[in-house]
Structure 1
């Protein structure tokens, strides 16, 4: 099987010129294979989880949210940061699904793991598949800022796949998630996906 492999080139100096609320920017001096040194700036990110919540009519729960850096209102799947170092990603995904959509799920699988922009950021995202979804009990989570203006819909998977391939949908977790789901459906089947507690070397956690 073709697979990525861990490797770490020698760093001779490092600094953090910017530290934000959730992420920071790091500058490393990295030794190249020919012995020269190059400067590499990148965003340091805690990692994220995202959820493709699929109902029994083959529809996916999506949210429409304003994203200021790209000046667009994007259709997305529920997602959020791994706020606590070593946090169990399944627990984080269950929390995000509850907070953003007030939904719970009976069956969880790992759909796909990706690095969002490995040339400039170390963010790793685990995308889960959630099935057997239903309304959560209790009061809805109180949201603020951009999340207070979110729309929610259930859209047929086929429409989301078409929208991603047609260039109409641009959120990376949505595009990667729905395309991976379609590939799994037409391949070995959803029950062949990894279990929700599968190891994740990019963001090790306590089961």
Structure 2
């Protein structure tokens, strides 16, 4: 952060107001640029990894999971929090892919890092592309995860991201970044069948 920026807020105190599995709600006492003292609440959570996994044939491994906040089954990509024992982000991405889908990847490549909702959360999502994914591992779901695993044709999934049929923000972002990099001619970024 650039503390010298005339838009910067000064944090004078910070505390956790609420804790639950997966995230906290943090309250910062702040002084605004005009000198006003106030507070600001936001979701405080661990960094996460999101995996865009391709089978050797070029299909995408997708998950379907109940999402209580929107009251429906959500189609998306394997994702999860970076844990203390993860030696690096690629290790976390491999673990989440294995735990949620039972697939193992031949390779894992960083795609992009984003702050998806930095107006209300300090979340940082690290997106990866996994290649050569085959079903070789046992799944290990968290206690509150109910996940169905499927595969999808890449072009059909991309079309769903464009036409609104795919609503999961992490999945739409991963597909969009992947497609933009492929279209721009980035090497090593295309699915097997493209």
Aligned equivalents of 2:29, 2:141: Cα separation in 1: 41
Structure-2 change in CA distance of 1:168 and 1:142 (3 Å): same
- Number of positions where the alignment pairs a residue of Structure 1 with one of Structure 2: 185
Decide whether the 8 Å contact of 1:66 with 1:146 is kept in 2: no
Instruction: Trace 1:71-110 onto structure 2 (pairs within 5 A).
Output: 71-84=71-84, 87-110=87-110
Alignment of 1:150 with 2:152, yes or no, is: no
Residues 34-113 of structure 1: pairs in structure 2 closer than 5 A = 34-84=34-84, 87-113=87-113
Give the match for residue 170 of structure 2.
173
**TM-score, normalised relative to structure 2:** 0.86
Task: Output the TM-score relative to the length of structure 1.
Answer: 0.81
Give the ranges of 4+ consecutive aligned residues of structure 1 lying more than 6 Å apart after TM superposition: none
1:32 and 2:29 aligned: no
Sort the Cα spacing of 1:64 and 1:105 in 2 relative to 1 into closer, same or farther, 3 A.
same
User: Given the superposition, is the C-alpha separation of residues 191 and 146 from structure 1 closer, same or farther in structure 2, using an over 3 Å criterion?
Assistant: same
Aligned-residue offset at 1:86: 7.1
Q: What's the C-alpha RMSD, in Å, of the aligned pairs? A: 2.1
Structure 2 segments unaligned to the other structure (5+ residues)? 4-8
SS at match of 1:123: coil
Q: Which moved more, 1:49-58 or 1:124-133?
A: 49-58
Equivalent residue number for residue 124 of structure 1: 124
Tell me if 1:141 matches 2:136.
Answer: no
- Secondary structure of 1:34's aligned partner: coil
Q: How far apart are the structure 1 equivalents of 2:25 and 2:111?
A: 29
- Quick one: which of 177, 188, 193 aligns to 1:191? 188
Report deviation, 1:185: 1.3
Distance in structure 1 (CA, Å) of the matches to 2:148 and 2:58: 20
Q: Secondary structure at the match of 2:95?
A: helix
Counterparts in 2 of 1:20 and 1:99: CA distance versus 1, 3 Å: same
